[in-house]
Amino acid sequence: MSAPNSHDQNFKNLILDYPRQALEFFAPDEAMHIDESVRITPIRQEQLKNRLGDRFHELDVPLLVEWPDGRREALLFVLEEKSDPARFSIHRLGHYCLDLAELCKTDRVVPVVVFLRGDARIRKRLELGSENHAFLSFRYLFCILDEMPAEQFRDSDNIVARLNLPNMAYVRQAAVDVFAWAFQGLLELEPDMEKRLKYMDFIDIYSRLTDNERELFAEQYPQEKQTMMTWSERVRSEGVQQGMHQGELAVLIRQLTRRFGPLDPVTDERLRKAKSVELEQWAENILDARTLEDVFSEK
């Protein structure tokens, strides 16, 4: 299995791949009225970074929720993941939400923080003022994963919940079962093979099974284990094929450059988009070709 880039990046990918399910799981009260007609789009982070400068939190995920028929004004969700509660700052989150509201010209902002684990130091409310008045009151929705019982979500039809089963609360003796429930959810709820491969790693990263637990999983869930082995073999096979393709491409580019000089952008793009069978044919054509056009001619 591949190593995680970071908890932040893992959850950012999860939210961007499954925005509707993420809102339903991490912010259920606010997501109650988000039906299938609603459009959910991530706000381009490059745009925010340019406008907000160094204050922009690269790993926050702002999602714009829009009702096409105009029944409700758009909502802006700001989702943030925190693996280390001690590093969370309610002041920084409040500052960011105010900046984002001003930038997007809206007061309908819903901040949501996902904590991998709870901590008594987590501050959930901010009041700015004096003994006489509160001039600014700020709070946010939060989800503390390791305080949620995994058993309660074992059969959930929400893929974000199923993938996060290993992050929830359960006794260590149930680790193998929780791993299996998450993997079964991936099989049931995600038809796309590329995403299946991607989130098989997500489950593995957060399950942290020992070698003995992996052996127990193979014994108790042989069908699931076989499926995982088949997927892993596919990843290795595709990696080998991709490596061979890149090698063929590099050789052909080098040959064409030596024979005809630097390649123009159109030719370079055509080569990089070509399939292996085309690269092989062009590599044969170069032996008799007098011009670059001859290389790509059909014989």
pLDDT band at 1 (very low <50, low <70, confident <90, very high): very low
Helices (H), the chain: 7-17, 19-26, 28-31, 45-52, 90-104, 159-163, 175-189, 193-207, 211-220, 222-260, 265-273, 276-285, 292-295
pLDDT score for 72: 77
Average pLDDT, the chain: 86
pLDDT score for 76: 87
pLDDT score for 268: 84
Q: How confident is the model over 14-43, as pLDDT tens digits?
A: 999 999 999 999 999 998 888 888 999 888
156/146 Cα distance (integer angstroms): 17
Q: How confident is the model over 225-270, as pLDDT tens digits?
A: 999 888 877 766 665 566 677 777 888 888 888 888 888 888 888 8
- Given a cut of 70, is residue 52 above it in pLDDT? no
pLDDT band at 2 (very low <50, low <70, confident <90, very high): very low
pTM of the model: 0.74
DSSP state of 261: -
Are 249 and 272 spatial neighbours (Cβ–Cβ below 8 Å)? yes
User: Structural domain boundaries of the chain?
Assistant: 1-147, 149-220, 248-295
